Amino acid sequence: MIYSDKVMDHFSNPRNVGTLPDADGVGQVGNPVCGDMMTFYVKVKDDKLSDVKFQTFGCGAAIAVSSMVSEMAMGKTLDEAMTITNEKVAEELGGLPKNKMHCSNLGADALHLAIENYKLKAKGGNAPAVSTDAGSDHEHEGEEGDESCACPYCETPVQNPKTACFCKSCDLDLVECPQCGKYTNKAENACTQCGAALEK
């Protein structure tokens, strides 16, 4: 899987990572198919985003996307920030592999949710800040090979899965879920594919 220099830069040196305990708005998107989870925190002053932070669990593309979105949004008015799209983010990053476009490229969705969360709270309403099915209606085209032997985070096929359950791309030990037979992060308590509890 080939990534642009810009993607690798934002993955290796992500900007604006962290949380804002006193955030004016919070938005979270998760893709249960790929396991990517992005949470954006925004501070608003004079109708502009005075600060943007994010926390992302996922592959390198998801981290790079979140970092780029935070840079694109910083200092923008709320209306300007709402015009940031996942397509524009991918373009700014110099492109993303086809199987990552709808799988890891969800940063703009999380940002929009955070802004909507802020607007609703400002009006005194209850604001939904979480979406757990973003992108789940899209096709997820992995690499060639058996899908059940693919890393759930970057979709790279696991080499010799029966003897070496390790994803080099994500630097993660993987384990086969006894419930669904898919591979998931060994450090997790539940399978990222089906949610079944993992034996420790």
Q: What is the DSSP letter of 52?
A: E
Q: Say if 138 falls within a structural domain.
A: no
In a domain, 137, yes or no: no
**CATH number reported for the structural domain that contains residue 17 in this entry:** 3.90.1010.10
Both 70 and 164 in a single domain? no
Say if 136 falls within a structural domain: no
Residue 76 lies in a domain: yes
Shared domain check, 149 and 108: no
pTM of the model: 0.63
189 and 117 assigned to the same domain: no
pLDDT at 189: 76
- Residues 43 and 105 placed together within one structural domain of the fold: yes
Which residues make Cβ contacts (< 8 Å) with residue 83, sequence separation at least 6?
none
The one catalytic residue among 34, 151, 167, 170? 34
- Strands (DSSP E) contained in 80-138 are 130-131
As a whole number of Å, the CA-based R_g of the chain is 17
Confidence of residue 145 (pLDDT cuts 50, 70, 90): very low
Residue 44, pLDDT > 60, answer yes
Q: At which of 131, 156, 178 does a domain end?
A: 131
Q: Are 67 and 114 found together in one domain? A: yes
Both 119 and 195 in a single domain? no
Check whether residue 115 and residue 159 sit in a common domain. Answer: no
- Dihedral of the CA atoms 118, 42, 93, 80 (nearest 10)? 50
Rounded CA separation 135/23 (Å): 25
What average pLDDT is seen over the chain? 77
11: containing domain: 5-131
The answer to whether residue 34 is catalytic is: yes
Which residue in 59, 103, 151, 154 is the catalytic one? 103
How far, CA to CA in Å, does 56 sit from each of 80, 176, 179?
A: 23, 24, 27
Last residue of some domain: 89, 111, 131?
131
**Angle at the Cα of 89 from the Cα atoms of 137 and 79, rounded to 5 degrees:** 95
Give me the number of domains the chain comprises.
2
Catalytic annotation present for 103: yes
The CA-atom distances, in angstroms, between 161 and each of 23, 99, 158, 169 are 43, 21, 5, 15
pLDDT at 164: 54
Number of residues written out for the chain: 200
Average pLDDT over every residue of 107-117:
93
Among 191, 192, 186, which Cα is nearest to 171's?
186
What is the mean pLDDT of the segment spanning 15-44?
87
- Residue at a domain's end among 131, 158, 184: 131
Predicted confidence (pLDDT) at residue 197 exceeds the cutoff of 70: yes
What percentage of the chain carries pLDDT values higher than 70? 66
Joined together, the tokens standing for residue 21 give 């305990």
Higher-pLDDT residue of 56 and 176 is 56
71 and 159 fall within a common domain: no
What are phi and psi for residue 35, nearest 5 degrees?
90, 0
Rounded CA-CA distance 67/188 in Å is 24
Instruction: Give the pLDDT of residue 79.
Output: 95
